[in-house]
Amino acid sequence: MGAELITPAELSRSLRSERPPVVLDIRWRLDAPDGRDAYRAGHIPGAVYVSLDDELAGHGGPTAGRHPLPDPADFEAAARGWGLNDGDAVVVYDDWQSFGAARAWWMLTDAGVADVRLLEGGLAAWRSAGLPLEAGAFEPRRGTVTLHPGHLPQLTIDEAAALPARGALLDVRAGERYRGETEPIDPQAGHIPGALHLPTTESLDADGRFLPGDALRARVEALGVDGPVGVYCGSGVSAAHAVFALQRAGLDPALYVGSWSQWSNHPDRPVATGAQP
């Protein structure tokens, strides 16, 4: 279905349907990667907690980046633990600008799940609509879904390096990290040479909702983007958010999963600083 949103009202109605969607709560932040306590304190009724670090990422060495993709068999086992079966619709949400939710959306879509939607405005919008929360932990019946990753385009580190010569590589981190003024997490500050800057946080309005597709398209066109498009961030999480936004703008960007956390752990890779590509 592509990059689709669902409103809180639509989700509330669908939860009362004969076959409700599987709802996944991906509560994750850079400063609070384990969202279990926040989930248990209150979540959308029937939502299953998903650990981004444990279930939506692998655990390789530094040269693989901070959030490499998990082994496909491990990801399938995790999805079955969420109660997912073949043919199920899925709704994903979080409480931090849809970053964690977008990672789950990208991985499930890449694995062939046909109907995965982001909750528009996330948990804040659900609360603002006056809809109920449920405390504790929901334990679903184990599912039997079969996943087949490889449906969405990706970039290797070498493909990311080569892309600016024939298309556009977009760095979607904050401006100060792109320019190399600061780097709070990874070994080096700066950006991949030739990368253009398009911060993914600017794809949202003040309420954390994605801008309309035409507004998102205008942001890309203002950069003079031509040819194939790839995106990266710090560790591949907010870049998935950018893929979602760019799909809504009518593009089909490739995700460089390793992102800057992989690139900056390879001392032989060149680094650019400043506001220019």
From the options 3.20.20.140, 3.40.250.10, 3.40.50.1370, 2.40.50.140, give the CATH code of 4-128.
3.40.250.10
Model pLDDT, residue 32: 87
The CATH architecture one would assign to domain 157-263 is 3-Layer(aba) Sandwich (3.40)
Sequence-ordered list of residues with C-beta below 8 angstroms from that of 41, at least 6 positions apart, any chain:
135
pLDDT tens digits for range 162-173: 999 999 999 999
Distance CA 103, CA 118 (A): 10
Active site residues: 233
Model pLDDT, residue 2: 79
Model pLDDT, residue 60: 87
With beta carbons less than 8 A apart as the criterion, state whether 263 and 64 touch.
no
Model pLDDT, residue 154: 98
Please report, rounded to a whole number, the percentage of residues in the chain having pLDDT higher than 70.
Answer: 100
Report phi then psi at 85, rounded to 5: -120, 160
Instruction: Give me the mean pLDDT over the 220-248 stretch.
Output: 96
- Give me the residue spans of the domains in the chain: 4-128, 157-263
Q: 3-class SS at 229?
A: strand
**β-strand pairing of 116-119 with 168-171:** unpaired
**β-strand pairing of 4-6 with 116-119:** parallel
With beta carbons less than 8 A apart as the criterion, state whether 208 and 218 touch.
no
Kindly state the tokens that stand for 55. Answer: 């279930």
pLDDT tens digits for range 122-141: 999 999 999 999 999 999 99
CB atoms within 10 A of CB 174: 18
Instruction: Give me the mean pLDDT over the 51-71 stretch.
Output: 96
Instruction: Give me the mean pLDDT over the 91-118 stretch.
Output: 97
Q: Within its chain, how far is the Cα of 121 from the centroid?
A: 15
Q: 3-class SS at 224?
A: coil
With beta carbons less than 8 A apart as the criterion, state whether 170 and 230 touch.
yes
Q: Within its chain, how far is the Cα of 225 from the centroid?
A: 22
Which residue matches tokens 């893929």? 243
Domains 4-128 and 157-263 share a fold: yes
Instruction: Give me the mean pLDDT over the 101-107 stretch.
Output: 98
Q: What is the DSSP letter of 274?
A: S
Q: Is the pLDDT of residue 17 over 70?
A: yes
pLDDT tens digits for range 148-161: 999 999 999 999 99
Distance CA 133, CA 19 (A): 20
Distance CA 107, CA 146 (A): 13
Q: In 3D, which of 2, 115, 10, 107 has the Cα closest to residue 58?
A: 107
User: For all residues of the chain together, what is the average pLDDT?
Assistant: 97
Q: Is the pLDDT of residue 231 over 90?
A: yes
Sheet (strand 196-197) strand order: 196-197, 168-171, 229-232, 254-255
Model pLDDT, residue 245: 97
Distance CA 272, CA 146 (A): 42
Binned at pLDDT 50, 70 and 90, residue 9 comes out as very high
Q: Interhelix angle for 238-248 vs 213-221, to 10°? A: 110
Binned at pLDDT 50, 70 and 90, residue 1 comes out as low
